Each structure stands twice: as structure tokens, then as C-alpha cells.
Amino acid sequence: MQGIQPNNPLHGVTLEQLLNELVAFYGWDVLGRKIEIRCFTHDPSITSSLKFLRRTPWARERVESLYIEMVQGVSARQQ
């Protein structure tokens, strides 16, 4: 049985949701400058990015870290 993880901002968030939120917040251009990976800079799409991130742990870690920074920054502004 899964427990509640209130301190884990990634809990319950799929990689696709995470990526969609980052693209909506930053856009592909800024995302490609923040994390320089080809799937963000050359003909970017959610599908190609998901495929790459699912098989490349170092890139996924960077994307997840950026997502956490974004979520913490947005919640800090709302307070």
C-alpha cells in the first residue's frame, strides 16, 4: 500500500504531466536553453522527449529537478 508523501513534489505526477507543465511554463526555447538536450532544441515534441527521457536517467533527473524548482517557485510566489 502506498503512503501519502506530502513532501515529495513528484508523487503522483507522471513524466508526461511533468513535461507538459514545463513546456507550458517555459516553452520549448527556454527549456532547451535550461537543459541542453537535442529533443528540446531540434524539432521538439512531447512524444520524442518522453521517449528520450524514459531511457536516459541523467536527462530525466535534470528535468525532474527543473520541475521541482518551478513548482517551488510558483508556490512561493502565491504565498
Q: Average pLDDT per run of 10 along the chain, which is 79 residues long?
A: 67 94 96 95 96 96 95 69
Angle at 24 between CA 32 and CA 67, to 5 degrees: 65
pLDDT in the model for residue 72: 87
| Chosen CATH of 27-78 out of 1.10.3720.10, 3.30.70.141, 1.10.720.30, 1.10.3260.10 | 1.10.720.30
DSSP 8-state symbol, 48: H
pLDDT in the model for residue 78: 57
**pTM, rounded to two decimals:** 0.84
Q: Classify residue 31 by burial, with Cβ atoms within 10 Å: 0-12, 13-18, 19+.
A: buried
pLDDT in the model for residue 34: 95
Report domain extents, the chain: 27-78
Cα 33 to Cα 16, 30, 36, 79: the distances in Å are 20, 5, 6, 28
Q: Is 21 helix (H, G, I), strand (E, B) or coil?
A: helix
